[in-house]
Structure 1
């Protein structure tokens, strides 16, 4: 893995109710850094050396690794390695689908209370919550919450069908994501006629997408706020998020002012995550993907450890 680690320069001298507005306000505040203390005291802690060592070890063991971290205040890349390479990202690919869903709701072309039936003939039985619920149909807005908060594959498939694959592809191009793509639905098994992966993406493009979300620059402020609100409900804090100490089930309004939104992707031999972490000294947008031979529990745990190492380095950078 080719990599780059730099230091950010020191500073020279929906749309649908109160929660969305709070997210938008917090996002804009985190980007401006208007309430942060001076960051000079943290300069010596910005090498990301532990993360680089962990990722180099994974690469030497045969894993494919891609990482990108951007400082939200300076817009400078502070860590990058093979961030232009598209890799499988599994459930992380639901984020552009959520963007297109929010855009349709914002434009009024989709009814948030439109009832959608679960596709029993194509039910993904291996994961998710909806398959265990008695309700065979749910409103569109609830499916977005399920997809964002729990990574529910059946909810994500229903959203993709509702907004349209072509529209998601066009939206990703308009967002500056030409090397990333949602390729297919979630499936329990992939046959010879199916795409090999549900989605692929580059860490550079996904970190940039998350930076744009908290800067209210994805489609418009309302869409950015709505997607950020959905993602703030994500329960999977087991990778990068493990270092934050946040409650996985209630972390929208942290008592210590920590802003964290993220989305993970998991498949056999694939771990991916992108998000934003903002603290009192700095804010970052990040993305990390590791593709590895899932030959044993130890192989899997080694990949997970790299994400947690990045999380620790990000916490030190932002605090």
Structure 2
């Protein structure tokens, strides 16, 4: 814990299997990760599409889904149905909560957990549907949080994405992310237009963030030519205390991003 904040941090080159970490702090500490767990949902859906179990253009409806607003766009759109792939794109781009719930209805939480086990993701877990209400932990069986992970387990997920175990479709969907406010801020990319093929001297960044009261998390993969760096930074802090608060968390996350950026420019 640093100044009242619990951190789990890891940044390491993925193109060098035995590389020493660039940055590391309590990388095995399991913390709440908010929407980051949606990566497991995307991974399972992508696996099913690749295997022919799901059609990419299959239509899914929000009509009977667990309705939730907050992050996302679908709840504000007139369109009642989307293709499976478009729902995944919404999750990748704007962490769409309603699209996430529709996709979980499609495959099931147990299947998402089994997918995580198949790629060795634990302690990274997606524990529940997304809800717009506070969790009532007095109700038996209520998960303590939406998702949880350690930085090491998130980087493991990135390794499986880098080596092709996790479908390349997930990288495509992550490339649409519009939240570059945390670690990714250091790279100075346009949040609305950065999903281009990386060229030497201009890294390609993909990421997924998680945000809730007392939670900030950012996991990402930065490619520059043959080099690839995976990072995961998670911060949890008590919401009933004023300092250190959000400002210091965001400041440190951006400093970590700057260190990754600067080291990539040197190697």
TM-score, normalized by length of structure 1? 0.75
Matched-pair contact (CA < 8 Å) for 2:119–2:165:
no
TM-superposed CA distance for 1:166, in Å, is 1.3
Equivalent residue for 2:256? 310
Larger radius of gyration: 1
1:249 corresponds to: 192
Matches within 5 A, 1:250-265: 250-253=193-196, 256-265=201-210
Contact 1:147 1:155 in 2 (8 A): yes
* Kept after mapping to 2: 8 A contact 1:65/1:291: yes
2:7 aligned residue:
65
Name 2:229's counterpart in structure 1.
Answer: 284
Whether contact under 8 Å (1:274, 1:287) holds in the other structure is yes
Q: Does 1:157 align with 2:101?
A: yes
Query: 1:20-169, aligned counterparts within 5 Å?
Result: 59-75=1-17, 76-78=19-21, 79-119=23-63, 122-169=66-113
Equivalent pair of 2:171/2:206 in contact (CA under 8 Å): yes
What corresponds to 2:136 in structure 1? 191
Q: Structure 2: 5+ residue runs without aligned partners?
A: none
Q: Does 1:232 align with 2:175?
A: yes
**What's the Cα RMSD here?**
1.9
Aligned mates of 1:165, 1:100 — CA distance in 2:
10
Shift of 1:282: 4.2
**SS of residue matched to 2:129:** coil
1:297 deviates by 8.8
The more displaced of 238-247 and 281-290 is: 281-290
Q: Give the structure 2 partner of residue 208 of structure 1.
A: 156
Unaligned runs of 5+ in 1: 1-58
Paired residues, what number?
256
The equivalent residue for 2:216 is 271
Residue 84 of structure 1 and its aligned partner are, at CA, apart by 1.4
Task: Identify which range, 141-150 or 169-178, moves more after superposition.
Answer: 169-178
Structure 1 residues 159-168 or 147-156, which shifts more?
159-168
Provide closer, same or farther for how the CA distance between residues 77 and 265 of structure 1 changes in structure 2, counting only shifts above 3 A: farther
Instruction: Give the alignment's TM-score, normalised by structure 2.
Output: 0.89
Q: Judging by fraction of residues, say which structure has more helix.
A: 1
